[in-house]
């Protein structure tokens, strides 16, 4: 018999190894991770007992909901940003419109003042021209009636009476030419109306025809015919009473009367009426002499 047969064993009872719990946590898409949980006490060399716990996995439905929620949030953010941009654009456009409106009003007011000033100047010029025309007509009327005076001198017991008439004019014309010139000058300032032949409104050929009619010369009515009604003369050899024309001979579009000293009188257009002007102002194309 062994000498140790009756000696009780002093070996400590073997403790069971601590359990280690492994948690498998499901991650969206099915990825697993393991979590080991060790017991609080026990020998370091104790074999762990592993227990696996399956955690719920995020399903594709939940992932889709999250994605939709994110998309919705992004759309809201985009809408808010778009509205902010629209609001800024509206504000900018409104400001620009106000500025443009103010500028337009300023320009309109300036144009209004400019127009009023031009009308005032035109009115003053018309009044001055009317006064000058009235004075000229009075002078011409005096020239038509004439003024007679007598002067006497004695020689060998006899006396001779001399009669003369004089009136200042802007032309050196004499005879019938002087009458033509006086006629057109008396109508300076009259209105221009196409087709009119007087007595207070004319077109260009109507005035020329009337000027010659009053001395007994019948001219054609229209400018084309008047430009060939007499002998063609050079513009460097003009005489008072000559008919000036613009355009070609036989196809003229305008006529007037040369009054001498480089001046002419003609019914120009609706805005100017009958005017006296320099040849330099509107050089004619040619001239014809009727007298």
Q: For position 50, what pLDDT does the model report?
A: 55
Pick the closest to residue 202 from 126, 247, 164, 255 (CA basis): 255
pLDDT in tens, 61-95: 666 777 778 888 888 888 888 888 988 889 998 88
Residue 18's region, left for phi above 0, alpha for psi from -120 to 50, else beta, is beta
What pLDDT, on a 0 to 100 scale, did the predictor assign at position 200? 93
- The H or E element spanning position 245 is strand 243-246
Cβ(74)–Cβ(43) below 8 Å: no
Q: How far is CA 122 from each of CA 98, 117, 187, 195, 238, rounded to the nearest angstrom?
A: 36, 9, 19, 26, 33
Q: Where are the alpha helices (DSSP H) in 47-169?
A: 60-145
Report the C-alpha gap between 159 and 163 in whole angstroms: 13
pLDDT reported for residue 116: 81
Q: In angstroms, how far is CA 45 from the centroid of its own chain? A: 101
What pTM was computed for the model? 0.44
Distances (CA, A) of 139 to 146, 166, 169, 210: 10, 11, 8, 20
Q: Are 258 and 186 in contact (CB under 8 A)?
A: no
Torsions phi, psi of 258, nearest 5? Answer: -80, 130
Distances (CA, A) of 162 to 142, 143, 148: 19, 18, 9
pLDDT of 212 reads 97
φ and ψ at 216, to 5 degrees? 90, 15
- The one-character DSSP state at 195 is T
pLDDT block averages, 10 residues each, the chain of length 291:
54 55 45 44 52 57 74 85 88 89 88 80 61 52 38 32 32 85 97 95 97 96 96 96 96 97 96 96 95 88
Chain segment 29-71, per-residue pLDDT in tens: 444 444 444 444 445 555 555 555 555 555 666 667 777 788 8
The answer to whether the Cα torsion of 208, 213, 217, 223 is positive or negative is positive
Three-point CA angle 114, 281, 203, nearest 5°: 85
Q: Given this model, what pLDDT does residue 159 score?
A: 31
pLDDT of residue 5: 53
């Amino acid at each position: 018999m062994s000498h140790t047969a009756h000696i009780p064993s002093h070996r400590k009872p073997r403790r069971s190894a601590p359990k280690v719990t492994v948690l498998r946590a499901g991650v969206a898409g099915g990825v697993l991770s393991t979590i080991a949980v060790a017991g609080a006490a026990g020998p370091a060399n104790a074999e762990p007992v592993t227990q696996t716990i399956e955690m719920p996995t995020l399903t594709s439905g939940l992932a889709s909901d999250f994605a939709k929620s994110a998309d919705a949030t992004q759309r809201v953010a985009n809408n808010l940003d778009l509205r902010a941009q629209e609001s800024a654009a509206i504000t900018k456009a409104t400001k620009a419109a106000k500025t443009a409106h103010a500028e337009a009003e300023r320009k309109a007011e300036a144009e209004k003042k400019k127009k009023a000033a031009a009308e005032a100047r035109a009115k003053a010029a018309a009044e001055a021209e009317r006064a000058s025309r009235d004075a000229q007509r009075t002078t011409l009327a005096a020239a038509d009636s004439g003024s007679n005076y007598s002067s006497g001198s004695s020689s060998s017991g006899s006396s001779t009476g001399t009669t003369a008439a004089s009136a200042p004019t802007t032309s050196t014309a004499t005879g019938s030419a002087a009458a033509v010139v006086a006629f057109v000058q008396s109508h300076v300032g009259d209105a221009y109306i196409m087709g009119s032949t007087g007595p207070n409104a004319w077109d260009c050929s109507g005035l020329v025809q009337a000027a010659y009619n009053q001395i007994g010369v019948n001219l054609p009515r229209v400018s084309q015919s008047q430009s060939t009604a007499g002998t063609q003369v050079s513009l460097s050899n003009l005489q008072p009473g000559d008919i000036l024309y613009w355009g070609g001979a036989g196809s003229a579009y305008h006529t007037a009367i040369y009054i001498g000293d480089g001046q002419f009188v003609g019914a120009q257009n609706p805005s100017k009426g009958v005017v006296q002007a320099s040849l330099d102002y509107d050089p004619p194309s040619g001239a014809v002499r009727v007298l």
